[in-house]
Chain A
Amino acid sequence: SQTIHQWPATLVQPVGSPLSLECTVEGTSNPNLYWYRQAAGRGLQLLFYSVGIGQISSEVPQNLSASRPQDRQFILSSKKLLLSDSGFYLCAWSPRGLTGNSPLHFGNGTRLTVT
């Protein structure tokens, strides 16, 4: 069966510090991968998605970047965190193919607090 791992679960970082959040998927190949951010009590904002190694699409201009160094690994990074980067970050995967034809499978999220 497929599983998705996301870590860390919580993170407190000072403003200006770097960030690296990692997400890995097991039990499937060539998945579509996604990073979403959720503000408190709000819906999900898509940050990045990837349909293959090295293929990253960004939805909104921001202080963050993403990389996909391996087929089932997706990394969210920042060189210098801002207060506005605080939030709940969710990684998700779906089978390769047309988005929407299959469910998204989410990790348990990372609660990031920038102080």
Chain B
Amino acid sequence: SQQGEEDPQALSIQEGENATMNCSYKTSINNLQWYRQNSGRGLVHLILIRSNEREKHSGRLRVTLDTSKKSSSLLITASRAADTASYFCATDGNNDMRFGAGTRLTVKP
């Protein structure tokens, strides 16, 4: 069963704007990961944040984690048309990662 739930389900922005996607989960976690999926392709890992971390950066990506609220956010700054994809959060379960339904991001040139 799915663990994380992303919000919004779809997001459309102009190139250069920032995109923020949120993820909520239900049970305690050790780690939370964010993935990207281009249409018809496999998922690509973006960033992993541990439960004792509050914020992590990777290039134009910024991830926050609030374990008290059981939520995480992914911020993509200065978006580009190439950032158009679906973004998923995933939390660690028993021997597997549990994925949400994703946020479909469209960046218009």
Contact = CB atoms under 8 A, between A and B. Distances in A.
A41 B102 CA distance: 8
Interface in A75-105: 88, 90, 92, 98-105
A8 to B, nearest CB: 14
A32 B93 CA distance: 14
Contacts of B104: 41
A59 B33 CA distance: 21
Interface residues of B, number: 28
B96 A108 contact: no
Interface in B42-91: 42-45, 48, 88, 90-91
Given A43-B101, A100-B30, A34 B41 contact: no
Interface residues of A, number: 30
Interface in A21-35: 32, 34
Given A103-B33, A103-B48, A46 B40 contact: no
Contacts of A32: 95
A105 B96 contact: no
Contacts, number: 71
A43 B29 contact: no
Contacts of B108: none
A19 B32 CA distance: 33
A40 to B, nearest CB: 11
Given A43-B88, A100-B33, A109-B41, A34 B96 contact: yes
Nearest to A91: B42
Contact of A111 (B40, B96, B102): B40
A100 B31 contact: yes
A32 B92 CA distance: 14
A7 interface: no
Contact of B97 (A88, A99, A107, A109): A99
Interface of A: 6, 32, 34, 36, 41-46, 49, 51, 57, 59, 88, 90, 92, 98-109, 111
8 contacts: A41-B101, A49-B95, A49-B96, A88-B40, A100-B31, A100-B93, A101-B30, A103-B45
